[in-house]
Amino acid sequence: MSKLKKLQTILKNMQKVLVAYSGGVDSTFLLKIAVDTLGNNNVLAVLASSETYPASEIKAAVKTVKKMRVKLLQIKTEELKDLRFSKNPAERCYYCKLELFGKLKEIARKKGYQAVVDGANYDDRLDFRPGTKAGKKLGIQSPLKEAGFRKEEIRKLSKKLKLSTWNKPSMACLASRIPYGVRINNRILNQIGEAESYLKGLYFKQVRVRHHGNLARIEVTPKDFKILLKSAMIKKIAEKLKKIGYTYITFDIEGFRSGSMNLVLKGRK
């Protein structure tokens, strides 16, 4: 049985699903397959917004789901009000997902959806993801992971299905740019969001601004190093990020990599 057929079988057995939708590559692909398999009346996309997620990403996610003509419900989560999250421990994502999944389960119960599913894929098992624990605790299912779908496979099939997200850069909440143990607040989140938005507007589609107090550590893909290091570009970036509130602006020579803040958990600097 192909992975796609396996995914379709998994969804058929669920009958009626609520999809934790973010507008990213994985959840958009899952939503598309769910609708094609179960029909619009049996699928609900729920999009959560909060201070930890850029407004531009929410806007793009809404635009995508409208094109797909899928039922969409937008909600707001308030993880910053939970000290277990805002204190920024290593298991921060657990408390964030506990907040989100708890709300999704309640919505599913009230509206009569048998299952709540997320877009976790098979590759995610290799990363440090405390949120997975919250999903298991609340009975959230991950059909893509269960069917064995890897990220690149999802991108290829998304392209074949003409989904605009097929080549969308990876995205994670803005809190992931802050070192563990540093208190998360709106000021820092806005600072990071503004810096990344500016860099994306200049050229860089896959970018992270890691926040280290008054120092910003910029990560871009290796193929973009030459562009980033042009003298005119350096000047623009330095001037803007200083206006935003950073004193020192650095460039990470290892380039972009998801979860780079997790390296401290492995005893690396």
Q: What is the second-level CATH architecture of the domain 174-266?
A: 2-Layer Sandwich (3.30)
> Under a CB-based contact definition with an 8 Å cutoff, are residues 46 and 107 in contact?
yes
pLDDT at 269: 40
pLDDT exceeds cutoff 50 at 268: no
Q: What is the pLDDT of residue 259?
A: 67
Q: What is the DSSP string of the chain?
A: --HHHHHHHHHHHH-SEEEEE-SSHHHHHHHHHHHHHH-GGGEEEEEEE-TTS-HHHHHHHHHHHHHHT--EEEEE--GGG-HHHHT--TTHHHHHHHHHHHHHHHHHHHHT-SEEE----GGGGGS--THHHHHHHTT-B-HHHHHT--HHHHHHHHHHTT-TTTTPPP---GGGGS-TTSPP-HHHHHHHHHHHHHHHHHT-SSEEEEEETTEEEEEE-GGGHHHHTSHHHHHHHHHHHHHHT-SEEEE-TT---TTGGGGGGGT--
Query: Residue 261's pLDDT is what?
Result: 67
pLDDT in tens, 21-30: 999 999 999 9
Residue 191 near residue 244 (C-beta atoms within 8 A):
yes
In the prediction, which pLDDT does 176 show? 94
pLDDT at 266: 54
Residue 267 has pLDDT above 60, yes or no: no
Please report the pLDDT score of residue 172 as a whole number: 87
pLDDT attached to residue 257: 84
Q: In this predicted model, what pLDDT tens digit does every residue of 123-178 receive, in sequence order?
A: 887 666 788 888 899 999 999 999 999 999 999 999 999 999 999 998 889 999 99
Give per-residue pLDDT as tens, 208-262.
999 999 999 999 999 999 999 999 999 999 999 999 999 999 999 999 987 666 6
Categorize the per-residue pLDDT at 181 as very low, low, confident or very high, splitting at 50, 70 and 90.
Answer: very high
pLDDT in tens, 80-99: 999 999 999 999 999 999 99
CATH number of the domain at 3-160, please? Answer: 3.40.50.620
CA 244 – CA 51 distance, rounded (Å): 17
Looking at every residue in the chain, the average pLDDT score rounds to 93
From CA 90, how far away is CA 60, in angstroms rounded? 29
**Rounded-to-integer distance, Cα 208 and Cα 197, Å:** 10
How far is it, in rounded angstroms, from Cα 79 to Cα 64?
25
Mean pLDDT of 34-58: 95
- Residue range 62-85: average pLDDT? 94
The angle at the Cα of 94, spanning 91 to 99, to the nearest 5 degrees, equals 140
The predicted model scores a pTM of 0.90
What pLDDT, on the 0 to 100 scale, is given for residue 129? 77
Average pLDDT, integer, range 191-195: 97
Listed by start position, the domains of the chain span 3-160, 174-266
Tokens of 51: 């201070």
